[in-house]
Structure 1
């Protein structure tokens, strides 16, 4: 069985300051340098986000018809990294894409889904798990599967 850390954050709780998404940016900043491929999943009705990804990235666009989603995928470069770190939040202050996957040589090792409320990390060390727990929102629920 794989060693996975699954983190769930309840974004609807009013007593938690999740709107800054500091935890999400910390995780992206930590993992993105280890990735050589990225994939975004966006719902078809999120037209503005689809247009922005089309205009601001050189990623391949793939329609995921049965899921009613669009996938943008491709190699990671400085432009993509800067885009993610600087332009991930909507005007409402929420993460723009439904899912983001970071991969290395075809293997997904980091997944952010449901607009940053669900995180899956493949094969984290015990030291990393402790580090992640220190900057996650107070309401984060951790499931460590070994």
Structure 2
């Protein structure tokens, strides 16, 4: 198969902040997808808006993490995948009912395997296998929109 797919999770903006929240306000699908695709990645890249101070301070605690600033509004963190970072992404991804990070990219040998954007409501998977496709379709909400290329 080895195609690419963009998944638009049914979402809404609960206030005027522009923050997207999944309908049903649960990130169970996100946790399972990240867990699955972390096994295929060697590097994690996380983007936070600069005003998301709590998320930024948590990420700065990881040893070996690299911070680079982009366009003045984002903090971008990059780190080789470790057990501690993987565990953190899977078990500590929500604060106050919201996903902590605007973007999470899982990368293997310099190529993005999975892109999670807009606080986990838009996911792009690259080089999707038949096994990956079967897994994802069981996990995401039934109203998810799939765009293939």
TM-score, normalising length: structure 1: 0.88
What's 1:135 paired with? 139
**C-alpha displacement at 1:28, in angstroms?**
0.6
Aligned length: 141
Structure that is richer in strand per residue? 2
Structure that is richer in helix per residue? 1
Q: Output one character per residue of 1:64-117: Cα deviation in whole Å (capped at 9) or x when no partner.
A: 1x2510001010111101111111101x21110000001111111110000000
Structure 2: unaligned runs, 5 residues or longer: 15-21
What's 1:103 paired with? 107
Does the Cα contact within 8 Å between 2:65 and 2:79 map onto a contact in 1? yes
SS at match of 2:128: coil
SS at match of 2:86: helix
Q: 2:83 aligns with which of 55, 78, 81?
A: 78
What's 2:18 paired with? none
**C-alpha displacement at 1:127, in angstroms?**
3.4
Structure 1: unaligned runs, 5 residues or longer: none
RMSD of Structure 2 on Structure 1 (CA): 2.0
Quickly say closer, same or farther: Cα 1:42–1:58, change in 2 above 3 A: same
Structure 1 residues 1-146: aligned runs within 5 Å: 3-12=3-12, 16-17=23-24, 19-56=25-62, 58-64=64-70, 66=71, 68-90=73-95, 92-145=96-149
